[in-house]
Amino acid sequence: FGSRIQSFLGSILCVCRDDSASFHVAVAMAVFMSHLFLVTLFGTGVFALNSTMVDLSCPNIYACEGFGGCYEAETSFLKDCMIGKAYVVESLMPKPIFLQTSCLSLGFKILTRTSTGTTVPDPCYGGWASFYATDEDTFWERYPAESFPKTWCPEWRAAVPNCFSAGSINGTQLV
């Protein structure tokens, strides 16, 4: 991908070498486009320290001892805002481990029966974390949907308000 950008930028510079004003405009455009490219990459989390968090007993759907889940988020968010603070994390991942891959690649599935129709991102955590499970039916049997807006999400938000508000401004999700 980088070679295509380099080739594109090179073609801009080669076309404009004869006219110095056009050359300077082309250089400015190339610099702007490279900054825009980097901002786009950072915005998608490509360079962020992201992790996948699973339990030691369920590192992927194929080696899972029973029911399991998987969270994806920035590593510091998982450590500072989820471990020891979120009910589902504590009950589902008593021995959390971090992996550098995606939950989907581990075989976990996105849940669809939430207030937003997805757990990517999970509506409970201010848009900062995404949740996946081995099986959606088993998840909702174990964790009734009505308990999230009534109990678990408000408890988490009250316990770590800086974590929730980091993901939204006046209720508008930033992620």
**166 and 149 in one domain?**
yes
**113 and 37 in one domain?**
no
Mean pLDDT value across residues 130-149: 89
* pLDDT, averaged across the chain: 75
Closest C-alpha among 24, 39, 30, 41 to residue 6 = 30
**83 and 27 in one domain?**
no
Share of the chain above pLDDT 90, in %: 36
Distance CA 56, CA 59 (A): 6
pLDDT score at 47: 45
Least confident residue range of 40-54, 77-91, 149-163: 40-54
**87 and 55 in one domain?**
yes
Distance CA 46, CA 38 (A): 10
**118 and 91 in one domain?**
yes
pLDDT(173) > 80: no
Answer whether 86's CB lies under 8 Å from 156's CB: yes
C-alpha dihedral sign at 139, 60, 54, 128: negative
* pLDDT tens column, 5-64: 444 445 444 444 545 665 555 444 444 444 434 333 444 444 456 899 999 999 999 999
For residue 95, give every residue at least 6 positions away whose Cβ sits within 8 Å of its Cβ, in sequence order, or none.
55, 56, 57
Give the pTM: 0.65
> Containing domain of residue 59, as a range?
50-173
**77 and 24 in one domain?**
no
Least confident residue range of 21-25, 35-39, 67-71, 151-155: 35-39
> In the chain, which residue ranges form alpha helices assigned H by DSSP?
2-15, 20-43, 75-77, 87-92, 136-142, 147, 153-159, 161-165
**114 and 96 in one domain?**
yes
Domain end point (choices 43, 58, 74): 43
**123 and 92 in one domain?**
yes
Residue 151 CB neighbour total at 10 angstroms: 12
pLDDT score at 63: 95
**158 and 76 in one domain?**
yes
Closest C-alpha among 115, 119, 117, 147 to residue 132 = 119
pLDDT score at 102: 95
Closest C-alpha among 100, 104, 97, 151 to residue 124 = 151
Q: How many domains does the chain have?
A: 2
**130 and 106 in one domain?**
yes
**88 and 7 in one domain?**
no
